[in-house]
Structure 1
Amino acid sequence: MGNITPSTMPPIPPKVAPAKPDKIEETAQEFEGVMLGQFTKLMLETVDRGEEFSGGSGEEMFRGVLAETIGQEMAKSGGIGISQAVRDQMIKMQEGSK
């Protein structure tokens, strides 16, 4: 192995501009919405629907969309604290890269 010279070293990537606080908040809320949607989907899979209230193949097709929408709305309504934790970590990571 030879000596390392500046010409053989890979270029250092330029610094990325820090994200704006509103973008961080939006991203954290979207993440919480996805998480809550997945939790809701798992819960819906365990519900005994019975024949009287079963929506057939249409229900099966849109059950995932329903879970996703419920998760997004829960996050918009304040969620369960996931977005705050994610936001705090994103800010810490951003401050650490300065």
Structure 2
Amino acid sequence: MNVNTDSAQLAASAPKAINTHAVNAEQAKAVGKQFESMFMSQMLQHMFEGIKSEEGPFGGGHAEAMFRPMLLDEYAKMVSNRPGGIGLADQVTRSLLKNQEV
């Protein structure tokens, strides 16, 4: 027998590599929600840029500027945790699971 033929037969009969990065539907859903929350946070940041913090009820200042990103992150989590969110999480989840099947 030829060495090349033996190697080819051995490679063909070897078990396929296991995808250790495969995710189940629950993990894909969590990643989708996390992505949607991050996206909403970015959109809210752009929306709040036009608001002058010194005109607010508390007068703004350094502390308000420092805590605003955390507040916007919480707003984004609230929006994405609502039933259906904005629909982006479902799209990301489906895409992750579909690409994993290939």
With normalisation by structure 2, the TM-score equals 0.73
Q: Report how far residue 15 of structure 1 moved.
A: 2.9
| Cα deviations by residue, 1:63-87 (Å, 9 ceiling, x for unpaired) | 1111111111111113211101101
Query: 1:74 maps to what in 2?
Result: 79
Residue ranges of structure 1 left out of the alignment (5+ in a row): 1-5, 7-13
Alignment of structure 1 residues 1-98 onto 2, 5 Å: 14-17=17-20, 18-49=22-53, 51=55, 53=57, 54-77=59-82, 78-96=84-102
When the two chains are superposed, the root-mean-square deviation of aligned CA atoms in Å is 1.8
**In 1: Cα distance, 2:28 partner to 2:18 partner:** 18
| Larger displacement relative to structure 2 (39-48 or 50-59) | 50-59
Q: Report how far residue 52 of structure 1 moved.
A: 5.0
Question: By percentage of residues, which structure has more helix?
Answer: 2
Could you say if the C-alpha distance between residues 40 and 75 of structure 1 is closer, same or farther in structure 2, counting changes exceeding 3 Å? Answer: same
Question: Which of 1 and 2 has greater Rg?
Answer: 2
Number of matched pairs: 84
Q: Report how far residue 57 of structure 1 moved.
A: 1.2
Q: Is the CA contact 1:41–1:68 (under 8 Å) kept in the aligned structure 2?
A: no
Residue ranges of structure 2 left out of the alignment (5+ in a row): 1-6, 8-16
Q: Report how far residue 49 of structure 1 moved.
A: 4.2
| Cα deviations by residue, 1:2-50 (Å, 9 ceiling, x for unpaired) | xxxx9xxxxxxx4324311111100100000000011011111122445
SS in structure 1 of the partner of residue 71 of structure 2: helix
Could you say if the C-alpha distance between residues 23 and 50 of structure 1 is closer, same or farther in structure 2, counting changes exceeding 3 Å? Answer: same
With normalisation by structure 1, the TM-score equals 0.75
% identical aligned pairs: 25
